[in-house]
Amino acid sequence: MKTARALIAALATTVAFAVPAAAQEKFRIGYLRVMDDAQAILAHEAGLYKNHGLDVELIEFKSGTDLIKAIVGGQLQSGVLGFTNAIAWASRGADLKVVSGAQNGYHAMIVRNDSGIKEIADLKGKTIASQAEGSTADTVLKGVVFKQAGLKSDDVNVMGVSPQVAVQSLAGKRVDGAFLFEPQASIAKAIAPVSQIYEIGEVWPFPCMVVITSGEVLKTRKADLWKSLDAQKDAIDMLQQKPAEAAKYIAAQFISEPTLKTLNQGEVPRETIITEAIKTQVFSPAVTEKERARMQEIAGIMQAQGALKTRDGKPFEVEQILDLSWQKERKL
């Protein structure tokens, strides 16, 4: 029987990609094309990594699962993604560390105006789009949002799709609602007759996205890792303090055309849509004591859902995957 470490190595190789010898010194960072990862995108587009003397290759992934596999397999030095991925893999023996914060959980429930849905409890018997089973969005949707409304997981038909497909499904009336990140939530509200009935960050704030690396990178490229975190902190400062300026750098990442045809306002510059989406977010490079407690709470939810298992059956201790030495050094 293969060991957990051998299985992890085998899985990780499924997303391996060839890296030319000349590119070996690059610091490779993985990201998802969602507002939650805006710090990584902005730091690249605005030249902030270069300002800190770091040559970064930014690599897009379609799912957090594929991104974490690339970190485990050594194809990436770090990535910005949901911390649930890190604890799920760490529980199986992967040498992973959460080294900084990124974005606090914004997930909005957007519903069609003709659906009759006014609150979360009204979702019973309805069909909604969300992310894949086991993702951070799926974990909090079923373990927090539904639970608080007195719903069971099987009371609602949940389709696990990409955020982009979720918006298309909502606009095309193939689903009654969608649990969306930004900027997809803002885009959906701009192009379709829909309304937001809930946003988890307003009632149950939690650290959604974090920066994850491997223990090997901490040993061999710690100085470069810290440069990347410094650059991303600069990006977070711009996102929080100058959202319109930040939008100029990253808007094209989310909306391909210069303008977006909206339902009520005609053609709107993409920078306007993205600026408003940035303003809904809470970005932070620090992981606070309160957030660490929330991480532990979510780990408990994952164990109750069967998505996280430990060898001895005891609660998974989130502290074992935290390395906040950069945060302490920078006095955040």
Question: For residue range 182-228, what is the model confidence (pLDDT) as tens digits?
Answer: 999 999 999 999 999 999 999 999 999 999 999 999 999 999 999 99
φ and ψ of 103, to 5 deg: -140, 140
What is the spatial distance between Cα 285 and Cα 38, in angstroms, rounded to a whole number? 12
Percent of the residues in the chain that have a pLDDT greater than 70, as a whole number: 93
pTM as predicted: 0.90
Q: In which region does residue 38 sit, left (phi positive, over 0), alpha (psi from -120 to 50) or beta (all else)?
A: alpha
- Determine how β-strand 108-112 pairs with β-strand 194-199: antiparallel
CATH class of 4-104+206-329: alpha beta
Do 4-104+206-329 and 108-203 have matching folds? Answer: yes
Q: What is the mean pLDDT of the chain?
A: 92
- Cβ–Cβ contacts within 10 Å for residue 264, how many? 8
Question: For residue range 273-302, what is the model confidence (pLDDT) as tens digits?
Answer: 999 999 999 999 999 999 999 999 999 999
Domain 108-203 has CATH 3.40.190.10: yes
What is the spatial distance between Cα 311 and Cα 127, in angstroms, rounded to a whole number? 36
Give the count of alpha carbons within 13 A of 288, CB side only: 11
Confidence tier at 25 by pLDDT (50, 70, 90) = confident
Average pLDDT over residues 79-90: 91
Average pLDDT over residues 63-81: 94
Q: Where are the domains of the chain?
A: 4-104+206-329, 108-203
Give the single-character DSSP code of 181: -
What is the spatial distance between Cα 166 and Cα 187, in angstroms, rounded to a whole number? 11
What pLDDT shows up at residue 310? 82
**Which segments of the chain does DSSP mark as H helices, in order?**
4-12, 38-45, 48-51, 64-72, 83-90, 136-140, 146-148, 163-171, 184-191, 200-203, 215-220, 222-241, 243-254, 270-279, 289-305, 325-329
CB 305 within 8 A of CB 142: yes
What is the spatial distance between Cα 1 and Cα 17, in angstroms, rounded to a whole number? 27
